[in-house]
Chain A
Amino acid sequence: MGRYWRTYTSAAPLAVFRIAFGVMILGSIVRFWAKGWIDELYIKPTFFFPYYGFEFVKPVGDYTYLLFAVCGLSALLVALGWFYRLASVLLFLSFTYIELMDKSTYLNHYYFVSLVAFLLIFLPANGYFSVDAYRNRSGFYEQIPRWTIDSLRLLMGIVYLYAGLAKLNSDWLLEALPLRIWLPGRNDLPGIGFLFNYRETAFAFSWLGALYDLSIPFLLLNRFTRPFAYAAVVVFHVLTAVLFPIGMFPYIMIVAALVFFPAGFHQRLLALLGGLLRLPATALRLAPHPLKGAERIGVSKPPSGGGGLYSTEQATNSGIPLVKTLIYSPAQSRFLLSLFIIFFIIQIIVPFRYTLYPNELFWSEEGYRFSWRVMLMEKMGNVQFKVVDETGQQMMVNNEDHLTKLQEKMMATQPDMLVQFAHHLRDYYTQHGFRNPKVFADTYVSLNGRLGKPYIDPTVNLAQETDSFRPKKWILPFGDEIKGL
């Protein structure tokens, strides 16, 4: 194992990943902006659902556009590898801030983007085929520690594997839910639409989807299966893009999965890109070295002193051009490896936190987010809030007066959001002359085709309940069981 950490590999895959990721995020931001969603989701609403512990993260009025501009610009700079370290920090902070502003826009793939952006801060992704490395040759590296690229593969592997494990439940496998509900909605697609009238199609898609998620990381790792696996990645994600309104996610995954390909592939890709853009050859390799012949060979001992990044020029005995390798100092190595190991331990544990809650996961959604549970539920709800004060004054709340359609839809099926909104109502009606108002929720939720039923105890005064990580006792029982992970 010790040797693994001192193995080096071409920097090309990481450079390609950096470019592709930056371009995809920039594209996402432009798309989001062009659709008018910044205004619709973050400026027009009067109330937002913050994440526990991040209540201070809120949209900043018209400056929210500036926030998106910063995010888009830093994504572009990351793609170019220009002021990379600063840009990657800004990208992580701005993107994550945007996602934390309102829970009702939570998507797993936004979380994925935040995680990748976090890793990119610490990865040497600007050492190769970047503006930084072109302008400052001391920052140019053709070889980097292998674990840096493997960390991205590991993250993608976790995403797929956990998404696959989450599908191993009775609704998905035995009932083909929710695909059985969703697919007939696409039976008007030209060519393949008629298939979705058949229940068998929903079952085939459910089982193949689970099999795909569980196996694809391994099939991408193996060089024999990789071309087929990648074809499956493309087919799978294009199909999901055609069938479901999931935005940029399929394309991000299709591009990100390229990181599993070997260095040679990425080098050819970059050579092609360099040619298309008429870039100088020095973008791809270090200029012929003046000290050629006096090279040191192999992975050398780090020179004494000096704490920063340093490199060694190495060449093979056959005299091919010099290769510059990024080697971290022991202190840097220790810091980065500890950070990454902690990061991945958290990634592996967090999706299982739901086991600490007694309620049915899909029903109560305690520990549901940040766990790669995608496309697992057709869940819909309706909630009518009643505000009553000490004097008997009473009001039925029209949710639309406070929330957007998206917010109302998301809130109706998620207890933490219901209690947050109840607190908002308590404060709002206190300001409007209600004395010590109590807030009750009359709820009705349907999950995966089961007939709807009350969701929250209607006798509980939500104004006094708090949102925390503790189990919520006022969630009514599901009355059914979804077996599985």
Chain B
Amino acid sequence: MLEIRWHSRAGQGAVTGAKGLASVVAETGKEVQAFAFYGSAKRGASMTAYNRVDDKPILNHEKYMKPDYVFIMDPGLAFTDDFTANSKESTKYIITTHLSKAELIAQIPEIQEMEDRVFVLDCFTIALDTIGRAIPNTPMLGAFIKVSGMFELKEFQESMKSVLGKLSQKIIDANMVAIERAYNEVH
């Protein structure tokens, strides 16, 4: 079982991202689950979304999770959310930030001495440059593909195209560029 926790602000596309990732992963024959806590959260409020991936049907409906990957979608949440909660020795963190990796780690005690498990990129700049809106979800998926090695980039892009299906060709193409840039820029 592979488990992912997304830290996001409502409106940044974490739910869509989690469901999109689930749809892509399901195309490969795996069993998936995507859910979120939002209750009556308003746009901009901190929220979390979740993925589970397994080879057999997923029966677990608890919200509690010890994630293998944690995605931080908003630079501010790296400083305000308890994003290392319920972590494992192997948990990897992908953080969107305009800071360098060294600058970011220096400011967050929780992730010091785990440089090899912290990955950074600037999903906002990538999304603005390519899609034209500051929605960091597809760049985050591109970064995840690179860090996890779960898919080949091209294979993932092809599956993602069918998930984005109903959007205009221009938007789909922009998302493909965003995924590829994130894949190449995460480090």
**A and B: interacting chains:** no
Residues of B within 8 A of A (CB): none
Point out residues on A near B: beta carbons under 8 Å: none
